Each structure stands twice: as C-alpha cells, then as structure tokens.
Amino acid sequence: MKIMNSNLGYPRIGAEREWKKALEAYWEGRINLNVLHAEMKRIRLSNLKMQQNSGIDLIPVSDFTYYDHMLDMAQMFDIVPSRFRTAGKEEEIYFAMARGTEEAVACEMTKWFNTNYHYIVPELSDTVPTLVRNRPLEAYREAKTELGIEGKPVIVGPYTFVKLSKHYGNRSFADWVRQFVPLYARILQELEAEGVRWVQLDEPCLVMDIPAEDMELITDVYEQLHQAAPQLHLLLQTYFEGIEHYEQVVSLPVQGIGLDFVHGYETNRANLTRWSFPQDKWLFAGIIDGRNVWAADQEQKCNLLSELLQYVTSSRLSIQPSCSLLHVPVRVSQEETLDPVIKESLAFAEEKLSEVVQLGEILQKGGQIAPLEARRQLAKSPLRNRADVQQDMAQLLSREPMRSTPFVKRAVLQQEYFGFQLLPTTTIGSFPQSSEVRQARRDWRQGKLTEEAYRTFIRRKIEEWIGIQEQLQLDVFVHGEFERTDMVEFFGEKLDGIAFTQNGWVQSYGSRCVKPPLIYGDVAFVKLMTVEEVAFANTLTDKPVKGMLTGPVTILNWSFVRDDIPREQVCYQIAAALRREVTALEEAGIDVIQVDEPALREGLPLKRKRWTAYLDWAVRSFLLTTSHVKDTTQIHTHMCYSEFHDMIDAISQLDADVISIETSRSHGELIQAFEDRIYDKGIGLGVYDIHSPRIPTVTEMAHMIERALRVLSPRQLWVNPDCGLKTRSKEEVVAALESMVEAACLVRGRFLKHESLVEERSE
C-alpha cells in the first residue's frame, strides 16, 4: 500500500512574483478588478498544478489569499470593524482593513508566531460573527472543476483564530470561541455534503504554553465539530514546535494529527515515547523543514521515519513538510549565479515537495538513498572553518560585553553634548525608494551606470533629503538609505559567509516580498559598509545624522541560517562584524548610531521555558555590537510590530540609549507595557503607520504623544514614524512628517506652559 503524502500550504507569490505585481497594479489603478481576479486565478491554479505534477496526494486548497489568510477568515465571518463598513464593495473593504484609508486606520499587523510573515489581526468587538461565504468550499470546487484535484481545504482552526485576534467588550475568550463553533460546523457540513474527504484545521496555538483549562474548551469544540460532520476526516494540524497537553490533543475526535518533527522534534518525540500514538488516527509527520532552505539529509529523514513506524502503521502515516511552504522561495532552478556547491545544497518549495515524494518512495520500495555530496563539500569548506573568525569570537566572548558607564550618567553627558529640546523628532532611517532610485540601482548593477555616476546620483538624493529635513526642522537626521535594498540584504552582500539568490523571494506582509540571505559559512567583516554615505550626509548639516545598521539578531532571524552550528554562534559572528562598522562610524564623527532589531521578539521560542536562553544570547549579541562606544555616542535601536510587555526587562538590558517602537496600528496599546513596568531609558514613539497611505492628523499624533506622557517622562520621549519610509511617496512622507513635527511642537508647548505655571504657583 502506498504511503500517503501531503502538503500544508504553498507560496502565493508565484515564481516571478506575479502575485505581487498584480496586486500593486490593481492598487495603482493600472488594472481593474476583473483583470486582478483573472490573474490571481491563473497563479492559484498554476500552484495547484505544480503540486499535482509533483505527486502530492493531499493538495491544500484555500491556502491562497489576496493579502493574508487571517484577513480572509475575518472577512469570511464578517468580522469587519465599523470604521470600514462604508469603505465600498467587498474587495475595497478587504484591502481597506489591510492597508487603511484616509478616514480609517488599518487593522493591526503582527508576526505569525516566530516567523517573518506578518498577519492582519482580526478585531472581535460587539459584532456577532456570521458566515457570509464558504471560501474553503469555493476553493475545493475550483480545484476539482479546473484540474480534477480532490483538494484538502485548509482553515485556521477556531481556537487559534480567536487566540490570535484582538478581543474587545465583555465577552470571555471561551465565549468568543463558542460564538464561532456553529459557523465552523456549517463550513464543515457543507464540505462534507460536497464529498470532501480531508479538511486541515490549523491549530498552531496548541504548541504554545496554553492553560490546562483551555483543553476542556478545545475538547468541547472539536466534539461539536465532529458531530456536525461525522463522515469528514478532520486533520488537526500543528507546527513550529511540539504540542502541549499531548495526551489530550491526540484524544480529540479527529482523524489525523499533524506534528512538526523538525522544529518540534524534541518535544514531539518525547511525547511519542511516553504516550505512543492512537492506532485509529493518521499521523501527519512534518519531517521536511518548511522554514529553512537546506536540502534534507535523506538518510537522517529515513531513520526518523523508521522510528515513527514504531508508533503508527505505514497505512496511517503521511509524510509532509513541517509547516506551510509559504516561508520559503518557490524554485531553486531559477538560481543561475550561486556557487554550485551552495545551490546543490538547497531545496525551495518545489524541491521540498520532491523530497516528500522521494522519501515515501524510498520507505515503501526500499530505494537507494541519495548522498548529499554538495552538503558534505560545504561542511569541509574553509568558508565554514575560518580560524580568524573563531579566534576573534573567543577573544570577544572572554568577558561579558557592557557599556562602561550606566545609562543614568550617560544620559546627562549626552544631553550636555547634544542639547536636544524636549520631545526631539527623528525618523527611523529610510526615505522613499522611488522608481528613479530603483532604476539607478538596476542600471548600476547591470553596468549601464558607472560606479562614479551612481555615487553622484546617491549623493544628490542625500543632499535633497537633508534639505527636506532642514525644512521640516527635525532634530536628528538620517541620510535616507538610497543606496540600500532590503535592510538585511544590503549588509549581507558586504559580509563574508553570506550568499544571495536572484529569485529567492518570500512574502513578508501584503505585497511586500524579501529575499532572505543565505548564511552558509563563517560570517566576517570585509570592508566598510555604511560610512561613506553617512559621513557625507554629516557634512551637509549641523544637526546630528544617525548611522544606520541592521542588528545581528535581525540579520540572523531574517536569513536562512546554516544548520550545522547553533544559531547563537552565527549571531555572535554577525555581531563581531557589525562591531567593526560601529567603530568606523564613530571614528568618522557619527555620534548617533541606530542598530535596528525589529526581529528581536520574533526569534523568541514559542515556549517560555526557552526564552531566557534565547534572550541571553540575543542581548549579548547586541551588546557585542554596541557596548564599546564612547559615553557621548548615543545608541538607538528600533523594533516594530512586537508585543513588548512580556520582554521589557530584556529590552532594557540591551542598554540602548533610545528605543523606538510601533504604537500606531496597535492604537497605542503598546504603551501599556510602560504603564505596568518602569522603563528609564529613551523611548521613540511610532506615532503613525507608514504601511498605510493614510496621513493622520496633527490631533491624532498629539493624542498619541500625550497618552504616552501619562506614564513616561517628557525627558525620555522621542517622536518618530513607526518604521522606515522607503515604501511611501515623497508627497506622503513630507506631509506626514510636517504633521508629526507640528504635533510634537504642540505637545511640547503645552507641557512647557504647564511646567511654567507649576513653577509660578510654587513660588
């Protein structure tokens, strides 16, 4: 009997990013809605056809989306905030929720577990959810009609959907979950009536530290769903870690359990050893890494499968990736410039599906295991065994890195040095990457523009935006980062041990796609990376100009990382390289240096018991990069779209003089983290959402600042956008920053007036 295989989800973007291009063409008015629908259908069917041709038995349907799968779920259940109800037709409301409008702030966007994918957070208020359309059924019918595929509808499960949503009003979490059960039941009943065999209910929250009492709720929910559609095969799918409450989860009335044996290997293997596996269920074993790009070691994977066959028969085993392939690029064969040894060591989405099928054939027929000669060559390569890097690391880690002077004393010295006014204003780093900028970079890379001509172009853009910042009267300037592509790619291209793909794109949020670096060897500093442009900008103004670096933890977490040594060792190598750039910036007269760590929180393990170890080496890596500077050199860092309340202590340990955070999409709720904990260092508030074309009013931004002043001292508060401005137009940026500076001036004036009145009364 053939061993079954399955897939959990597939990249939406297309091999040539056709998905992104169609979306942006629609938003810009270059194509109409009918053309968009047609192009999306073509991409969707092409993805399904590829999986069909690969030999995948259970092909996921309804995993495709026009923006985000959680947003799809919210709209399917009519979870539309009242501020969007008048935004127009269905598609207009959908994109308004994701991107905002002139009148309404977009829904919050945050990380999907500990990945670099962002999802739109549903807002559960007093609205009663209702099923307005059965999207999984529509997707199943399309796949069957167009391609003859008996698809496996994929749905975010009720527990995870509610857990990842924002809750307003007086209803409890359990009440909210129960509100959705009849709607899920109806979806499943309609799928059962259609003849669907398997339905994948994604419940990744079951790998989190969920309270024991939630298992009673989950059991009740799944008993109701089973009773609603008793003939349907329900696959309870988990990923990213090993599941908690294993014994209760595998006893749920479902026909299949999906477990991650890559990132959750330790926990799930221990659970199997202790509790075994129910003989009346299918085990969907995620053994191919869905989050990294290195080719699987077939011998190792076959050994793992043999181990699993001690707990489940081959007739009830399904081989699959560890999670959706959303998190990896589409196709290795498109890469023409990579070193052959590196290229042959890779597996993207298409290749991972081939690995799934091949492993099933080897296990079933006893076929020959293919040796990974390329990976063996890479392991022995001098690029992975650099004595100079190892010696440098040993020396740097011989003592704990830390600033020589405590912050409370540094702050006094820095204020004397800079003389900043109350509520100083700045931006996060980047300014608009216009079509002109992108074209100049392409021409330079293709040899159509000389090195000198390109440098002259970049300098003209820097001069233009230094002038704009002078007019805006910002307090700390940036050079604009016009020479940079992605914030990680730019640095990765200048360090040894890191390679880049031509088409290794993955979705980050909405239509935003990135090409994560491939960290394949020992990382080492080669030459100066940022000093020339920042130092030039510094000559154009008397205001401080920030040096801008991406931090070591973010470079690590936003890369595909070698899997032969611990991640923290790779992070220390990156930190050591960046440390040399920080030194060079300081020597060039740059007195404010921002080391961005937006990915610090997303690297947190999903289980709290592992947090301390991660945060220890993450903080140490940041301090390796920054702690050696002078007391008067002000270190900034930036973090966006993170929940900070549970890691304020670790953020404080970074010992950055100023941290800028996002507070716009979360409607100021992150400020609660500082209401509950004392934070004594500088804080930059992201007072408006740069991901939306909407420009907030002066009043809105002033309100955000004033709310922060309820719990923070104006002596520690900075005012800035919530992220870099590269994706916005020049007109949008100037208008928004004008309002931001005016809001800061308004609040500053109110505070100084109030302070003056208090002084008069005390006299």
Strand order in the sheet with 282-288: 4-5, 317-321, 282-288, 256-260, 233-237, 198-202, 152-156, 60-61
Contact at 8 Å (CB) between 188 and 228? yes
Q: By C-alpha distance, which of 55, 50, 49 is closest to 3?
A: 55
Residue 665 has pLDDT above 70, yes or no: no
Q: Which range, of 354-368, 392-406, 425-439, averages the lowest pLDDT?
A: 354-368
Identify the CA nearest to 239 among candidates 184, 287, 303, 294: 287
Is 50 exceeded by the pLDDT of residue 743?
yes
For residue 197, the 8-state DSSP code is -
361 appears as a binding residue in the annotation: no
Establish whether domains 4-84+104-328+343-379 and 409-762 are of one fold.
Answer: yes
671 annotated ligand binder: no
pLDDT for the residue 569: 96
Residue closest to 519 by CA, chosen among 665, 713, 384, 365: 384
- CA–CA separation, 632 and 616 (whole Å): 26
pLDDT recorded at residue 667? 47
Query: Which pLDDT score is estimated for 501?
Result: 93
Give the count of beta carbons closer than 10 Å to the beta carbon of residue 565: 12
State the first-to-last Cα distance of the chain, in angstroms, to the nearest integer: 92
pLDDT given at position 672: 64
Is 430 among the annotated ligand-binding positions?
A: yes
Mark whether 226 is an active-site residue.
no
Q: Indicate whether 755 pLDDT > 70.
A: no
> Are the CB atoms for 246 and 275 separated by under 8 Å?
yes
645 annotated to bind ligand = no
pTM of the model: 0.89
Q: How far apart are CA 563 and CA 254, in angstroms?
A: 34
CATH of 409-762, one of 3.40.50.150, 3.20.20.210, 3.40.220.10, 3.40.50.2000: 3.20.20.210
Answer whether residue 668 shows pLDDT above 70. Answer: no
pLDDT at 365 over 70: yes
Mean pLDDT across 419-439: 93
Query: For residue 753, what pLDDT is reported?
Result: 80
Is 745 annotated to bind ligand?
A: no
Spatial contact of 8 and 321, defined as CB atoms under 8 Å apart: yes
Q: pLDDT tens-digit profile of 142-171?
A: 999 999 999 999 999 999 999 999 987 888
Spatial distance between the Cα atoms of 227 and 247, rounded to a whole number of angstroms: 21
Domain ranges (residues) in the chain = 4-84+104-328+343-379, 409-762
pLDDT, residue 366, reads 74
512 is in an annotated binding site: yes
Q: Which range in 28-42, 669-683, 725-739 is most confidently predicted, on average pLDDT?
A: 28-42
Would you call 754 exposed, middle or buried from its count of C-beta atoms within 10 A (0-12, 13-18, 19+)?
Answer: exposed
Burial degree of 454 (CB within 10 A; 0-12, 13-18, 19+): middle
Q: Is the pLDDT of residue 73 over 70?
A: yes
**According to the annotation, is 107 in a ligand binding site?**
no
Q: Is a pLDDT exceeding 60 seen at residue 761?
A: no
Question: Percentage of the chain surpassing pLDDT 70?
Answer: 95
pLDDT tens digits, residue range 688-709? Answer: 877 777 788 999 999 888 888 8
Distances (CA, A) of 699 to 349, 464, 696, 723, 745: 47, 29, 8, 20, 12
Angle at 707 between CA 702 and CA 710, to 5 degrees: 130
Higher-pLDDT residue of 70 and 514 is: 70
| Catalytic choice (628, 691, 703, 754) | 691
Is residue 757 scored above 70 in pLDDT?
no
pLDDT tens digits for 444-460? 999 999 999 999 999 99
Q: What is the pLDDT of residue 177?
A: 97
User: Residue 2: is its pLDDT beyond 90?
Assistant: no
**Residue 57: per-residue pLDDT:** 98
Contact 332, 346 (CB under 8 A): yes
Residues in the chain: 763
Tell me the pairing of strands 198-202 and 233-237: parallel
Please compute the mean of the pLDDT values over residues 284-302 and round it to a whole number: 95
**504 pLDDT tier (thresholds 50, 70, 90):** very high
d(CA 234, CA 211): 24
C-alpha 144/C-alpha 151 separation (Å) is 7
Cβ proximity of 700 and 105 under 8 Å: no
Distance between CA 378 and CA 383 in Å, rounded? Answer: 8
- 331 among annotated binding-site residues: no
CATH number for 4-84+104-328+343-379: choose from 3.20.20.210, 3.40.30.10, 1.10.238.10, 3.30.70.2970.
3.20.20.210
Partner residues linked to 685 by β-bridges: 661, 719
Confidence category of residue 508, pLDDT binned at 50, 70, 90:
very high
| C-alpha–C-alpha distance, residues 103 and 695, integer Å | 9
Per-residue model confidence (pLDDT) at position 643: 61
pLDDT digits (tens, 9 = 90+) for 529-560: 999 999 999 999 999 999 999 999 999 999 99
Q: What pLDDT shows up at residue 120? A: 96
Q: In the predicted model, what is the mean pLDDT of residues 255-269? A: 97
| 151 and 48 Cβ atoms separated by less than 8 Å | yes
pLDDT digits (tens, 9 = 90+) for 611-621: 999 999 999 99
160 φ, ψ (degrees, to nearest 5) = -65, -40
pLDDT at 170: 83
Q: Which of 641, 614, 636 is nearest to 109 (CA)?
A: 641
Show the tokens assigned to 73.
Answer: 């779920």
pLDDT digits (tens, 9 = 90+) for 336-352: 999 999 999 999 999 99
Q: Does 475 appear as a known binding residue?
A: no
Token pair 């076959």 is found at 302
Does the annotation flag 194 for ligand binding?
Answer: no
